[in-house]
Amino acid sequence: MKILVFTSRYTAGRDIISEDFGRQVRIFEQLGKLGHKIDFFCVDYKRLENKSLYLHGMRIFIKPFKPLKFFSLLSELRKTMKSNNYDILIATSDPLWGVIGYFMSKKRGIKFVYDVQDNYRLYESYRIPFFGLFERHAARNADLVICASNALTDDVKGIRKKKTITIPNGVDMGVFKPLDKANSRKMLKLPLDAKIISYMGSIQKLHGVDILIKTFEELRKDVKGARLMLAGKVINANEGFDLRKKYIIYLGSLPQKKVVSAINATDVVVIPYPNNSFTRYMQAPYKLMEFMACNVPLVITDAGEMHKSMKDKKLVAKAGSIDDLKEKIKYALRLKKLNSRDVAAEYDWENIASKLNAVIRDM
C-alpha cells in the first residue's frame, strides 16, 4: 500500500528526521521493508525548512508552518495527496494533524488511521475553541486508531465502534545493548569509582525529577560516593532546578550514541514518574525499553502501565514516595545479576511493525 505519514518534525524534544529518531521513523521504516511505499509529510515549526529528502528509502516532505500560514500548509498537503494517490493517510504526533488528516483523507476518499501517542487533551491544540469536538469526531470515525498504551486504547474505545489497537513504543536492539561500564564512563568523562544513579529524559516536575532529587539527597547519606547523573533538556526554567550542586552531574541533551554510553555508565537508572494526567496514559516511553535492552538495573514507579513490564517487582516504587523510591534504589544497587534484555526484545521495532502491518493489510 501507498502510505502518507502526516507528523510533526519534532517529537519528544527531538528532530525525528535529522536525528533519525522515534516511533514514526522506526515503525514506518519497518513497514517499508514489508512492501509498503512510505512518504512523510513533516510539519516544521522550528527551523521552518521547505525541502525534500530520503530516509531509509522513505520520501520525506518537510514543510514550514506558522499559525498565520495555516492555509498554506493545507494547500501543500492537498497537493501532495493529489499528486501521489495514497491508499492511507496516517496522522500522528499531534491531535491537530489528526483533525486535519481526517477531513483531508475523507475528501480524497482514502483510508484514515489516527495514531494516539499521549493524552492529547493536554496538548496546545486543545486550547483552540471547539477543537475537542473536532478531535473526538476524528477519533470516533477514523478507519483505524492505534494507541501507544492500553490505557489510551481503553479511553478511545469508549467513543468508537471501529477497530482500535495498541501499538506500543519500541526499541532498536542493535543500538541499545550492554557495553563495558568503565569504557562508557571514560567516554563521557565520568568518575570511575562513584555510584552513579541516573535519570534521562525531560527535566521537569511533570516527570518527577524534583522527587528524584529529593530522594537522592536522602540516599547519599547512606551511599558513600553516590552521584546523581541527569541527561536531558530542562523544560521550564521557572521550576527552579539547581543542577550545579556538587553531587549532580548534568550532561545536557545527548545524541543517541552517547545516550547508550550514559545508560551503560550507570549503576542504577531511575524513572521517577508521579501519578498525573500525563503518566496515567503512558505505556512505555522510549527510555524504558532502551534501559532494559542495555541490561542496567532499573527502578521505576507504579505510575501508569510501565511497571507491568518489570519482572522483579522489588524494583517498582510507589509513585510520589521519596522513602520507597530510596529503598528501591538501594535494593537495585545490591543486585548482582540482571536479565531485562529478553523483555525488551519483545518490543523490537520489527515485531511492533509486523503487528501493525497485519492490521493495515486487513483494512
What total number of domains does the chain contain?
2
Is residue 175 one of the residues assigned to a domain? no
Same domain? For 220 and 288 the reply is yes
Is residue 144 one of the residues assigned to a domain? yes
pLDDT at 282: 66
Same domain? For 11 and 49 the reply is yes
Same domain? For 151 and 47 the reply is yes
pLDDT at 309: 84
Q: pLDDT per residue over 48-71, tens digit each?
A: 999 999 999 999 999 999 999 999
Q: pLDDT per residue over 284-324, tens digit each?
A: 557 889 999 999 999 999 998 778 888 899 999 999 999 99
CATH number at residue 72: 3.40.50.2000
Same domain? For 86 and 207 the reply is no
**pLDDT (tens digit, 0 to 9) for every residue of the chain, 363 residues total?**
999 999 999 987 789 999 998 899 999 999 999 999 999 999 999 999 999 999 999 999 999 999 999 999 999 999 999 999 999 999 999 999 999 999 999 999 999 999 999 889 889 999 999 999 999 999 999 999 999 988 899 999 999 999 999 999 999 999 999 999 999 999 999 999 999 999 999 999 999 999 999 999 999 999 999 999 999 999 888 898 999 899 999 999 998 889 999 999 999 999 999 998 777 766 555 788 999 999 999 999 999 877 888 889 999 999 999 999 999 999 999 998 888 999 999 999 999 999 999 999 998
Domain extent, residue 220, equals 181-345
Same domain? For 159 and 283 the reply is no
Same domain? For 158 and 15 the reply is yes
Same domain? For 213 and 200 the reply is yes
Is residue 79 one of the residues assigned to a domain? yes
Is residue 241 one of the residues assigned to a domain? yes
Same domain? For 112 and 246 the reply is no
Is residue 309 one of the residues assigned to a domain? yes
Same domain? For 256 and 309 the reply is yes
Q: Which of 35, 139, 143, 152 is nearest to 95 (CA)?
A: 139
Is residue 68 one of the residues assigned to a domain? yes
Same domain? For 335 and 213 the reply is yes
Same domain? For 243 and 293 the reply is yes
Same domain? For 82 and 51 the reply is yes
Is residue 86 one of the residues assigned to a domain? yes
pLDDT at 243: 92
Is residue 251 one of the residues assigned to a domain? yes
pLDDT at 284: 55
